[in-house]
Structure 1
């Protein structure tokens, strides 16, 4: 496959073990200057922040839910594992890795902990060209899955293994970010890793696929917020992170109360996105994401950010079974719900009032969220 890199199973750990240099991260990774006491730097796993995926942040920023905390949202290098490396190297404070990338960091000895689980449902999906969706995921044995980064294999392998697939019979190819969806559409590979929110965006770009949805077959967790264990263990930083995560939780609540408003806020932050998606497509993308963020919320005690221990244990057990996770760490040492109660300690009625009062543009007021909900 011209321009693509076939990924060997053992090569995965080699690829992801390389460090991320300060130069690779641009200005953020340069010499850390003296900063105000309350600054939290968040780094994306995607190589860009011009996406709808982070709508809770932009809502919180717009509505003042972070209070006096100075926040940044930065794109990391396209290397899938950069988000944990940069946190470990003190070039960012909060990373947003998939459980697979988080576990690779732990396997490499990074002293990091997960403190806020964004999605109770599995956000990841497998895309197939129209008419080529297999009857069973086991039919992926002997097939090739297209990825946007080699590190994403750490996402796909545990999902497939937990679904009963012999992953030694699955091949991967790194088609590069952001073109891996186009590579699948053009006939390269048999499936592609995707995720909620991206489904709607791809469809809006003419990349109309059939899907196996992770939320329908997977009990594994999705991306979470990871910080340095040293920061978690520092009593002086507890209040800062609780207030910071409260901002995200309020943004999540707002997005559930008024999907159109949350979407419009992101689109006003990044006008270029409007050229990629109509308001209808954009709101559908946001609602797909909101579904995952609110996934299994009853089991999660109706608390934004709550980790389901059994879901995470299943992931770690599966990762160890396939040899992806190494090292003798325990679930309770690396997955923490300590900040969750404080993060959810906000006035929901006020957030709803904020959401209801938000002035929608004519274009977003015209979006029919009830019809979109039927498509989810």
Structure 2
């Protein structure tokens, strides 16, 4: 995938340089833009990956294509690849919503950022541990004394809690920052014993000839995954709260559309990013999105709709991060996560979205993709 060096499409935006020490400096880009008759000049969502050329954000691109975001002045930015930039940008007001992992969210809270999770995308733990074939184990305690490769040093805050709840002494695990997007090729080349991965990425790695076996968080981990965070103060502004509910409703509609017609959602992303389309193709693209839909949906019978927070899962996460020292004071999940926008976000015409999905005419290439066959083999890479 292509990683932009700077966020594109900005008319008046400040690009924040995030140093290794976590210091944020600002460089003004462009001239002042016009004001908008909304509580936000332009509502900016920022990626945690340094790129938008992935399938992870399919609800936005599918929703945009289907008109679900009409009337909302929105912007998507890749941001820098620094793992903590997604929360730093939101905290200082240069983005309005970020998509951090729980570990990066806890980093923000530890560093005094007044953020709140308002839409929990990752109902199941998306993260996994990749091993070269024949070298993996479902007993993660065997990673003690071994080396785990990461794309960013900030990702240690993701892996430590995941390992700790499996009984691993994380002080006995070594981490090496192997860089984005090269940490997987480093694993293949034998430069470490394992690597962090996540659902959706597994299919992308196959497209690059990187075929590993996996310990899968979706099967074994009780922890939550990435979530949408905003400045907590924005919930105190009635106009912003109304906007946020409408914005999240469009995301929920995009999620529902993708659930009903995953191939159509992939097409929407591929139209936005032709290079990604070339790299993945219809079958692996559909595989990737099905992995992610499984994470985003979770067990919907036990959820209050798309984006609903399971407070017990979040509390378990904060408790383990406190034991690890990632946070130094207890965090109550209900204080930093909220379901107050979830009812409104899910208050849409589901029959209409299903009709939109059912009525979408696929291209010939996507029409040939057998979704049920992919679902039947979605976990073939899991360690047996």
TM-score, with normalisation over the residues of structure 1?
A: 0.92
Alignment of 1:113-124 (within 5 A): 113-124=116-127
Residue in structure 2 matching 1:355, options 343, 354, 357: 357
Deviation at 1:15, TM superposition (A): 7.9
Q: Give secondary structure in 1 for the equivalent of 2:196.
A: strand
* Partner secondary structure for residue 280 of structure 2: coil
Aligned counterpart, 2:6: none
Q: Deviations over 1:113-159 (max 9, x none)?
A: 00000011000000000111124111001000000000000000000
Higher mean C-alpha displacement, 180-189 vs 128-137? 128-137
Gaps of at least 5 residues in structure 1 are 1-13
Question: Is the contact between residue 16 and residue 151 of structure 1 (CA under 8 Å) also seen in structure 2?
Answer: no
Cα distance in 2 for partners of 1:128, 1:348 equals 40
* Residue in structure 2 matched with residue 21 of structure 1 by the alignment: 25
Distance 1:340 1:32 in 2: 34
Matched, 1:185 2:192: no
User: What is the CA–CA distance in structure 1 between the aligned matches of 2:186 and 2:174, rounded to whole Å?
Assistant: 15
**Structure 2 residue corresponding to 1:170, chosen from 165, 170, 173:** 173
The corresponding residue for 1:36 is: 36
Aligned-pair CA distance for 1:51? 0.6
Instruction: Provide the rounded CA distance (Å) in 2 between the counterparts of 1:268 and 1:172.
Output: 37
Match of 1:308 in 2: 310
Q: How many residues align?
A: 358
Distance between the aligned counterparts of 2:25 and 2:182, measured in 1?
25
Q: Does 2:266 align with 1:263?
A: yes
Question: In the aligned structure 2, how far is the partner of 1:215 from the partner of 1:308?
Answer: 15
Give me the whole-angstrom Cα distance separating, in 1, the residues matched to 2:164 and 2:286.
33
Give the distance between the partners of 2:74 and 2:312, measured in 1 at CA.
Answer: 32
Partner Cα distance (2:332, 2:201) in 1 = 33
Q: Distance in 2 between matches of 1:245 and 1:155?
A: 25
* d(CA) in 2 for partners of 1:136, 1:156: 15
Shift of 1:282: 0.6
**In 2, Cα distance between equivalents of 1:359 and 1:165:** 49
Secondary structure of the structure 1 residue equivalent to 2:300: coil
Give yes or no for contact 1:19–1:85 (8 Å, CA) kept in 2: no
The 8 Å contact of residues 106 and 327 in structure 1, kept in 2 or not, is answered as no
Equivalent in the alignment of 1:336: 338
Q: What residue is the counterpart of 1:243 in the other structure? A: 246
CA deviation map 1:328-360 (0-9, x unaligned) = 543222101110000000000000110111121
Give the aligned partner of residue 101 of structure 1: 104
1:75-122 per-position Cα deviation (integer Å, ceiling 9, x unaligned)? 011100000000001000000000000000000000100000001100
- Among candidates 162, 171, 175, match of residue 159 of structure 1: 162
Residue of structure 2 equivalent to 1:273: 276
Q: Structure 2 CA distance, aligned partners of 1:17 and 1:319? A: 21
- Alignment pair present for 1:57 and 2:71: no
Could you say what secondary structure the match of 1:115 adopts? strand
Equivalents in 2 of 1:32, 1:185: separation in Å? 47
The residue that corresponds to 2:236 in the other structure is 233
Structure 1 residue 288 displacement after superposition = 0.4
Contact 1:15/1:150 (CA < 8 Å) preserved in 2? no
The structure-2 alpha-carbon separation of the partners of 1:34 and 1:330, relative to structure 1 and needing over 3 Å to count, comes to farther
| Distance across 2 between alignment mates of 1:375 and 1:341 | 34
> How far apart, in 2, do the equivalents of 1:239 and 1:16 lie?
37
Q: CA deviation at 1:169?
A: 0.5
